């Protein structure tokens, strides 16, 4: 039997399934304004708390008669966009700080890393609450506060990678050729460590979705009448006994997308670093041993 190519090994069933879920969420976010069946903020007092599979409303309506499916699709736009903005913010700020500190070391590195240690000791949501209390609630403040809370871990990861990589032979060769430090860091070292970072950044998207949904659930993120999955979750909690789908639908979507992102991140990590792959179970070893013995008997 022919061996699968390196690319073929990446496209396992769990990679494909998780990738499809992520692509659906991204497609819904990009095309939200086009594919929504109704205006997500349109109030219809005559259609309050319609159950799922009602005529014209697949998932029913909320207490104001707004179509739940339309609000979920529009919520995908807000939730996915905010998650990507949070990760972009932590990457743009955290990666350069970590790379520069790790490359130069010294007192500045020690001071900045101790500051990051203090920040990391504070739970990310608690840090977000503190920043929101200072700057006020809202979508922009929520994105910035979560992004700031994610920066220290990103910086520490980048620092640990460059500390190992800066000892490589090609870095010494660049120095001997008179290259500027910034050129060595961002044009030679960064391309060699970015693949390791990608898996972590992918996982951070899932964490950002949950964190932003938590803030919105508590009324600190997106403000009504705009919707994201967190505000829909809060609205569903208040009206669970009138229409349980109002709570179940956003909860299931958050779970599916977050789990899919985490699985896809693990697949990327396994593809980049085969040593991270899970060890075979005892049953798998037993099956392999039986297969080998059968082949040996057949050969005899």
Among 26, 28, 20, which residue's Cα sits nearest to residue 71? 28
Q: How long, in residues, is the chain?
A: 300
How far is C-alpha 76 from the chain's CA centre?
14
| Domains of the chain from N-terminus onward | 6-43+53-299 (1.10.3720.10)
Phi-psi region of 233 (alpha: psi -120 to 50; beta: other; left: phi over 0): alpha
The per-residue pLDDT for 226 is 86
Tens digit of pLDDT for each residue in 96-118?
999 999 999 888 889 988 888 88
CB atoms within 10 A of CB 236: 21
The model carries a pTM of 0.85
Tens digit of pLDDT for each residue in 205-235?
999 999 999 999 998 888 888 889 999 999 9
The per-residue pLDDT for 1 is 44
Find out whether 126 and 72 touch, Cβ atoms under 8 Å.
no
Choice between 277 and 180, residue whose per-residue pLDDT is larger: 180
The per-residue pLDDT for 297 is 57
d(CA 221, CA 79): 11
Q: What is the mean pLDDT of residues 260-265?
A: 92
d(CA 146, CA 149): 5
Choice between 12 and 181, residue whose per-residue pLDDT is larger: 181
């Amino acid at each position: 039997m022919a061996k699968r190519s390196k690319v073929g090994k990446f496209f396992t069933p769990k990679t494909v399934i998780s990738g499809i879920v992520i692509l659906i969420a991204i497609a819904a976010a990009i095309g939200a304004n086009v594919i929504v069946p109704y205006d997500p903020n349109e109030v219809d007092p005559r259609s309050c708390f319609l159950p799922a599979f009602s005529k014209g409303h697949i998932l029913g309506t909320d207490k104001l008669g707004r179509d739940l499916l339309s609000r979920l699709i529009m919520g995908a736009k807000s939730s996915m966009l905010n998650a990507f903005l949070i990760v972009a913010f932590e990457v743009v700020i955290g990666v350069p700080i970590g790379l520069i500190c790790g490359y130069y070391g010294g007192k500045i590195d020690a001071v900045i890393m101790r500051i990051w240690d203090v920040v990391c000791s504070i739970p990310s949501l608690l840090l977000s609450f503190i920043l929101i209390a200072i700057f006020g609630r809202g979508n922009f403040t929520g994105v910035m506060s979560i992004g700031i809370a994610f920066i220290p871990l990103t910086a520490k990861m980048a620092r640990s990678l460059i500390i190992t990589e800066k000892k490589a032979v090609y870095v010494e060769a660049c120095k001997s050729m008179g290259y500027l430090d910034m050129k060595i860091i961002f044009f030679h070292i960064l391309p060699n460590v970015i693949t390791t970072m990608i898996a972590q950044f992918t996982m951070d998207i899932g964490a950002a979705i949950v964190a932003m949904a938590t803030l919105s659930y508590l009324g600190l993120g997106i403000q009504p009448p705009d919707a994201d999955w967190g505000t829909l979750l809060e609205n569903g909690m208040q009206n669970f006994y009138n229409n349980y789908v109002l709570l179940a639908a956003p909860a299931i979507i958050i779970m599916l997308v977050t789990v899919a992102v985490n699985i896809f991140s693990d697949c990327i990590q396994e593809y980049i670093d085969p040593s991270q792959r899970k060890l075979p179970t005892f049953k798998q070893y037993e099956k392999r041993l039986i297969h080998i013995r059968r082949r040996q008997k057949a050969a005899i």
